[in-house]
Structure 1
C-alpha cells in the first residue's frame, strides 16, 4: 500500500476541515498536532483552501495534509501544487481518479454502492471513502456491501462522531474514519483552538481505548512465583491459572516464573488497536521492543515498549 495511505491508517482518524480564512490554518494545524493527531484534510469548500494547504505544508511539515471535496482535475493540480499529499473526493469522478492514478497521487474517492466499489477495484485502488456514511446506512450497510470484496478498505466519513467512532474502527475493513466534530466551523472561526486540541485528544483517546490490564510481578523461579500467586489467592480468593512462563492470580496479577523485563515486573496496558497504539507512542518518542512481540493466529497481541515506570516495564495488549 502507498506510504501515505498507510500513514492515514496508522493515525486512524482524519479531521475534515473547512477553513474560511487562511490565517486560521497555522493555529488549526498546531491544535491538531498538540492533540496527537498530525493530519488534516482541507476541503475545497472555500476560497482559502489552497492558501491554507500552502501554509500548513510549509510551516508544519510534521502535519500530513490532504485536500478534500476535490471535484475537478484542476482542483487536484492546485491542491498538489500547494503541497497536498493526498486527494479525497465526495463521489467517484473517473476523470479525477484516473488523473491521480496516472500521476501517482494517493486518492480516496467517495463510494456508497457496490458498482462504485467495483470501479475502484478495476483501477486497483486499495482505499476508498465511504460517504455519506451514516446517511447511506451506516456500519450495517458497509458490512453487508463490502462483504463480497477483498483487497479494499474504507474510510467512513459523514456522521462519524465520538459515539460511533469505535464501532466503525472495530470493523476490519475500515482503514480510518473521517470526521469534523473536533474541528467544527464555529471553533475555527472563533479562534477556540484550545477546544479543538481537547476534542482531538478525546478522539484519539477514544480510538486507542487505553486501560490498565494487569500488574506483572517478577520472581526468580517457579517456586517463588507459585508462592506469591498462592498468597494472593489465599488472601483475596483470586483464582489461580498457571501458564508456561507465568501464573495469574485473578485477572489483575501475573507472577512471572523467571524474571523478565523491568526491575520489579511490568504494567500491562490494554488497547483497542495495538498497531495504532504503537504509532501513537512512537510519535511521543517511545521506542518499541520488537523482539518481545507475541502473535496469535498471525496477529500481534502483545509487545513491550522501551520504557519503565518505577522499575516496572510496560507492555501493550490487544483487547
Structure 2
C-alpha cells in the first residue's frame, strides 16, 4: 500500500482534531466509524492498548474509504507491522523511539512521535520529522510551553498536543501558531462507546469540530449607494447606539459592529464578516456544504490565509472569513 504522506498530513491539518480511541472489542469499530463520519470528524487514532486494536483498524480501513485511520500508542516495530498490514495510514507514538521512527520511514508510513522538550524536538527534526505529538500536553506546561517552543522552532516544527486537551482549552491550543491539530478522547468517551451510545459520540464529534473552528461575528458591512448616504446613515447609527464613527477611504466603521460601505461592495446588500481560529480549517469545513473561497480575495501572511470571501450569499449578504 502506497501512502502519500503529504495527503495524510494535509487531511489531519484540515480537520484539526484527532479522536483518540480505545476499543475493547473490534465489534464496536463499524458503528464507531459511522458515528465519526456523521459527526464530521473523518479521522481516528485507534490505540494499541487493547487486543482489539489491529482488527478494529482493519475493519475501519476496509469499510470506510472516507475515514483516515491511524494507529496510536505504538511502541514497537512489530506493532507498526500489524498496524500497516491492517490498513493504518499513520502511526502515533507516545515518545520518540529512534528504532520505531526509522522503521516507519523504511516502510513508508507517516509517524507522529511524542515529544515534550527542546532536546526531543531537535532530535525529531534531525530525523526529518516536522509534525510532532506534544505529549503529555497539560502535564508538560500546555499552551505556555508550546508558545515557548515557537520561538526557536518557528516554521520548523508543528505540534499535535494530546493529553489533557478538552472543550475548555481546545480553542486556546488551536490558537497557537505552531499547533497543527489536537488529539483527545472527550468526543469518544469510553462509557458511550462501550454502551454502544454512538448518537452521543456523533453529537460530541460535531460539537468538537465546530468548537475547533471558533466562529465569531466580527461585523456586518452594509452597502451604500453613495458616500453622502453612507455618511448620513453612519452618523445616525453612531448617535442611536452611542458608538464612535471612524471614516476610512472606502467605508465608515461604527463601533466594531457596523461597516457602512460608501459604494456598492461585495454582496447584493453587503457582507457579514466572521472570525475563525483557522481559515484553512474553516474552508475545509465549508467545502462540505459546497461553499468555496473566491480565489482573488484570498490574503495570506507567513503562509497562512488571513482573509477570504466565500462564493455564497445569504439573504443578499456575502460572507468573508478572517483569522483571529
Same-fold call, TM cutoff 0.5? yes
User: Residues 8, 297 of structure 1: CA spacing in aligned structure 2 closer, same or farther, 3 A cutoff?
Assistant: closer
Q: CA deviation at 1:270?
A: 1.8
Contact 1:218 1:255 in 2 (8 A): yes
- 1:225 and 2:223 equivalent? no
Q: CA deviation at 1:154?
A: 1.3
- 1:270 and 2:275 equivalent? yes
Q: CA deviation at 1:264?
A: 1.2
- 1:199 and 2:197 equivalent? no
Q: Supply the distance in 1 between the matched residues of 2:147 and 2:236 (Cα, whole angstroms).
A: 48
Q: CA deviation at 1:299?
A: 4.9
Q: CA deviation at 1:99?
A: 1.3
- For residue 104 of structure 1, the aligned residue among 85, 100, 108 is 108
**1:1-319 equivalent positions in 2, closer than 5 A:** 2-145=6-149, 147-150=151-154, 151-295=156-300, 299-319=304-324
TM-score between both structures, scaled by the size of structure 1: 0.93
SS in 2 for 1:183: coil
SS in 1 for 2:199: helix
- The CA deviation string for residues 162-204 of structure 1, in whole angstroms up to 9 with x for no partner, is 1121222222122111101111111101011111122222222
- The CA deviation string for residues 129-171 of structure 1, in whole angstroms up to 9 with x for no partner, is 1111222332333433554334011111111111121222222
Q: Supply the distance in 1 between the matched residues of 2:215 and 2:150 (Cα, whole angstroms).
A: 29
The size of the alignment, in residue pairs, is: 319
Contact 2:216 2:276 in 1 (8 A): yes
User: Residues 61, 212 of structure 1: CA spacing in aligned structure 2 closer, same or farther, 3 A cutoff?
Assistant: same
TM-score between both structures, scaled by the size of structure 2: 0.92
| RMSD, matched Cα | 1.9
Q: Supply the distance in 1 between the matched residues of 2:315 and 2:152 (Cα, whole angstroms).
A: 50
Contact 2:238 2:244 in 1 (8 A): yes
User: Residues 215, 90 of structure 1: CA spacing in aligned structure 2 closer, same or farther, 3 A cutoff?
Assistant: same
